Amino acid sequence: MNFFDLFKKLVFPQPEPQKTEKIKSELYIPEKPQSLPVSVPHAELTEEQALAQGWHFKRKSRQRMRITRYTGTERNVILPAKIGNFLVNELGERAFSRTQIDRIQIPDTMKKWHKLCFYASEVKEVILPEGLTQIPIGAFSNCRQLKYIHLPTTLLYIEKLAFFECKSLSQLDLGNCFRIESQAFAKSGLKRFAWSGGRIDGTALENTPLHEQYQLIFSKYSPESARVALVGKHAEMKFSAESVFFMENSILNQCTLDLSGCGKVTFNENTFQNWWNECFLFLPESKTIPFFPEKVHAYYSDGRTYPEYFSVVTPNDDEKIFTVNGKFLPSYSVQNCRKITHIRTEQNALKFSPEAIQSDILEKIYLPAIYGTGKLFSVRCHSLHRVEWNGNYVYLPTWKLISARTHEELLSAFSGKSVNGTYQFFDSGKFEEVFTRTPPEQLHQKEKILLAIDILRSTEELFPNREIYACYLRNHFRYAEIVCKALPEKWHEYAEFLRNFHQSE
């Protein structure tokens, strides 16, 4: 018995399987796509005919029309390509929601779809047109009787929840679809699919028969290169390939995987996003240290513990120094830390994923040079009071001093984006927008005073309109004194700044 088998036996003791127990298959590899373009006849109706058949529509500019609702009794439906002199090119939100149609064919004039357009309908068969590139959010969610859908060869994106809980949908040809988003087929009846491969969020296949039956589900596979879309529930197996890549949210459940025989194992920065379950991995030697959340235990094949993504030094009870052994901070990787004196890395700059820092007790943080897109801080960072990075620092009142909603808006200012070709991590305009809001969303006077003080004691260059806040403090100085004196001792810094501000005027 090798180390891996012994480890499994100790960690996951299992009774001997009975003869009647279904053996779980190991690998699911998508079939090659074979679907061909299908043409749909162009039905043309007068406006009177369309209304009589139950079509509700809205005229748009440039001789275009949107279908807003179908209330007809026909169960085998061909969506009209033209009504009167208007080309039908748009399907409105919930247009066929909860309708009792059996079959629908949609012509290639339909270019724009809105979310939930077939939500909870009784449709069983759908023919989608060539030229369609995207299926919107929740388009066919809860269509529990949908058995067949023809997807066009031009399809590129399937948005989240598109086929959620389509219980009767057991097989699908995804063709050359490039991107499949979260929960797209979750809780559906999907047992097999054809696909040329692309990007997929693991939750797209969560709680399907595929998820239940197979140990590893791939988006693309060869002995030389394998891309794992989802690891099955309670998977326990050895796997070897020259190169293995785990896609985002591909590991959702408790599992034990021996990958030490693989040449190279790579994880998407969000492979373990929202991770709560215990997981054991055996990995090959690597110079690139992947990120592993607390409940993911990684080992070399001989049982040695894999190097940690974070190494932590605690100089005293209140402070922690994080060293990141990698190039990025994945989503939700920094959690529940009161004071971080530094996040350090050997890299010149650290890339972050959205909401990489999520902690409702984090008070201050010092970052290296950092870049990324989306919000760095999750809305749970209620206690965050000081952010410092690359020589800059910004103060903001915590949620105990201002409303949680306002604090959340201020946190969104720390969102990476490109402005006129230059990368920008912090947007001071968000602070100004919150400060200058008019009724009914205007801040209370106390909140404006505390926010003005925090802005004035932040890095001057970050706030070009500092005079707005200084002028407000001058005009409300007496009340500001009352506000600051009434704060708990912990926040004495506000009174000290106000006193120094008054002396310098």
Please state the domain extents for the chain.
31-196, 310-504
The predicted pLDDT at position 15 comes to 40
Give me the DSSP letters along 130-150.
TT--EE-TTTTTT-TT--EEE
Rounded (10°) angle between helices 404-411 and 428-435: 150
> pLDDT tens across 14-45, in order?
444 333 334 457 899 999 998 888 888 899 99
**pLDDT value at 203 more than 90:** yes
289 or 58: whose pLDDT is higher? 58
SS (H, E, C) 468-499: HHHHHHHHCHHHHHHHHHCCCHHHHHHHHHHH
The predicted pLDDT at position 5 comes to 56
H helix and E strand count, the chain? 9, 39
Give yes or no for a contact between 91 and 117, defined as CB atoms under 8 angstroms apart. yes
Pairing of strands 415-419, 374-375: antiparallel
Six token digits for residue 485: 């004196």
Give yes or no for a contact between 180 and 198, defined as CB atoms under 8 angstroms apart. yes
Question: Please, what is the end-to-end C-alpha distance for the chain in angstroms?
Answer: 79
**pLDDT value at 3 more than 80:** no
Cα–Cα distance between 423 and 369 in angstroms, integer? 12
Which ranges of 239-300 does DSSP label H, i.e. alpha helix? Answer: none
> pLDDT tens across 410-433, in order?
999 999 888 888 899 999 999 999
Range with the poorest average pLDDT among 51-60, 331-340, 458-467: 331-340
The predicted pLDDT at position 19 comes to 35
Phi, psi values for residue 497, rounded to 5°: -65, -45
What is the average pLDDT score of the chain? 89
The predicted pLDDT at position 100 comes to 95
The predicted pLDDT at position 24 comes to 59
Cα–Cα distance between 33 and 447 in angstroms, integer? 59
Give yes or no for a contact between 434 and 406, defined as CB atoms under 8 angstroms apart. yes
The predicted pLDDT at position 338 comes to 65
Cα–Cα distance between 32 and 221 in angstroms, integer? 11
Mean pLDDT of 229-251: 92
Residues in the chain: 505
pLDDT band at 1 (very low <50, low <70, confident <90, very high): very low
At the topology level, CATH places domain 31-196 in: 3.80.10
Nearest to 224 by CA among 264, 181, 186: 264
The predicted pLDDT at position 155 comes to 94
The predicted pLDDT at position 10 comes to 45
Six token digits for residue 242: 């020259």
Cα–Cα distance between 283 and 273 in angstroms, integer? 19
Cα–Cα distance between 384 and 178 in angstroms, integer? 38
Longest dimension (CA), the chain: 86
The predicted pLDDT at position 436 comes to 94
**pLDDT value at 491 more than 50:** yes
Residue with tokens 């995207």: 134
> pLDDT tens across 142-171, in order?
999 999 999 999 999 999 999 999 999 999
Cα–Cα distance between 449 and 353 in angstroms, integer? 33
Cα–Cα distance between 188 and 46 in angstroms, integer? 39
